Chains A and B, each alone.
Chain A
């Protein structure tokens, strides 16, 4: 079974600075997707970024980028120019390609952006 580990329960960063959230996963699959989701205080889960395992190029979405290291099974999220609105829980998630598309989530990292 796949597992996702987020080793940082809480992190904080000053506004406008850069922060990196860590995620590692364990799988024997070759084809899969990795995701970062954001859950602000409103509690709705929002997709931040998505990475296909077969792609070597790291995904980027505006201020959000990932460092995908397939051999090391590592998938970290970098947030540049942090904004107050980035304060949220961040969840790393894994999904095996094909089948019923079930996501396996890490336990999350609580990020606080300080003014």
Chain B
């Protein structure tokens, strides 16, 4: 069966520090992968999606970036975090019937 994991689960970082959130999927090949952000009290905002290795599409211009170095690995990064980057980040992959399956989430607090 397919599983998705992301880490770290919780992260507290100072403003201006770098960020790396990692997501891996097991049990499937060539999945579409997504990074969403959920700010407090709000819905989910799509940040990036990828349909294959090295293929990244950005939905929202910001100081975050994403990379897909391997088929089942998706990384969210920043060189310098802003206070507004705080939130709950969710990685997801899409199944054959279109539904998304989400990881456990990573809570980022920028101080």
Q: Please report A residues at the B interface, Cβ cutoff 8 Å.
A: 33, 35, 42-47, 50, 91, 95, 97, 100-103, 105-108
Contacts and interface: CB of A to CB of B under 8 A. Distances in A.
Interface in B13-42: 32, 34, 42
Contacts of A44: 102-105
Interface residues of B, number: 24
Contact of B44 (A47, A101, A105): A105
A13 to B, nearest CB: 21
- B49, B59, B100 interface centre (most CB from chain A within 10 Å): B100
Given A44-B104, A45-B90, A107-B43, A100 B32 contact: yes
B98 A102 contact: no
Chain B contact surface mostly: strand
Given A43-B88, A108-B43, A101 B98 contact: yes
B27 to A, nearest CB: 16
Contact of B100 (A97, A103, A108): A103
A35 B101 CA distance: 12
A47 B32 CA distance: 17
Contacts of A101: 32, 94, 98, 100
A102 B46 contact: yes
26 contacts: A33-B97, A33-B99, A42-B104, A43-B104, A43-B105, A44-B102, A44-B104, A45-B44, A45-B90, A45-B100, A45-B102, A47-B99, A50-B99, A91-B44, A95-B98, A100-B49, A100-B57, A101-B94, A101-B100, A102-B34, A102-B46, A102-B59, A103-B34, A103-B46, A105-B43, A106-B43
